[in-house]
Structure 1
Amino acid sequence: MDRISALRNVEDALADFEAGDASLGDVEDRVLGVLRTYATEFDEGDVSAYRATGDPRVEGTVVVAESEEEARERVAARVDEVPEFRVEPVG
């Protein structure tokens, strides 16, 4: 899914909420689904999406980076104490 498609899907979810055709929970689920799809299909030039696994403090964290090393650095920057974890390409 490209950025324009993702934005259109989010806009559709918001329009349904505004029209009373969707609850806030429904919209949250739809938007989360859009973001997850966008992240798992992300491939933009020299960068890719990477998911952290291992320590619960970073489990499931997804970052965009040029390499696994850079991805590890970005994940580690999000926590106070650097845990043991791995990063793997998403998708």
Structure 2
Amino acid sequence: MDRISALRNVEDALADFEDGDASLGDVEDRVLGVLRTYATEFEDDGAAFRATGDPRVEGVVVVAESEDAARERVAERVDGDPEFGVERLV
């Protein structure tokens, strides 16, 4: 998915919300799906990983080629040494 397609899909989701045809949760799911698709296609051999554990990184999603690389990318976003895990998103 290229950037223009991703933006159009997000705009479509927002328009559905504004028209009352989609709930906030539906829009969040659609936008998250667009972002994940765009991000995983942006990096060859990459996958999306979500951090769980330490509140400072809870829910952070990164694209990386491995679980170890994902942990490094998440850890770079915060000060200190947070305790957390990462799970691959499908």
TM-score in same-fold range (> 0.5): yes
Deviation by residue 1:20-55 (Cα, 9 ceiling, x = unmatched):
x828xx8x863x333311327964340000000111
- TM-score, normalised to structure 2, is 0.68
Give SS of 1:72's match. Answer: helix
Aligned residues: 83
Give SS of 1:51's match. Answer: strand
Q: 2:84 & 2:7 partners in 1: Cα distance? A: 32
* Aligned partner letter, 1:74: R
Q: 1:88 & 1:10 partners in 2: Cα distance? A: 25
Aligned-pair Cα RMSD in Å? 3.0
* Aligned partner letter, 2:83: E
- TM-score, normalised to structure 1, is 0.68
Q: Which runs of 4+ in 1 moved over 6 A?
A: none
Query: 1:1-91 counterparts in 2 under 5 A?
Result: 2-3=1-2, 5-13=5-13, 16=15, 22=18, 30=27, 32-38=28-34, 39=36, 43-44=40-41, 45-91=44-90
Contact 1:40 1:90 in 2 (8 A): no
Q: 1:80 & 1:6 partners in 2: Cα distance? A: 32
| Higher Cα Rg, which structure | 1
Unaligned ranges ≥5, structure 1:
none
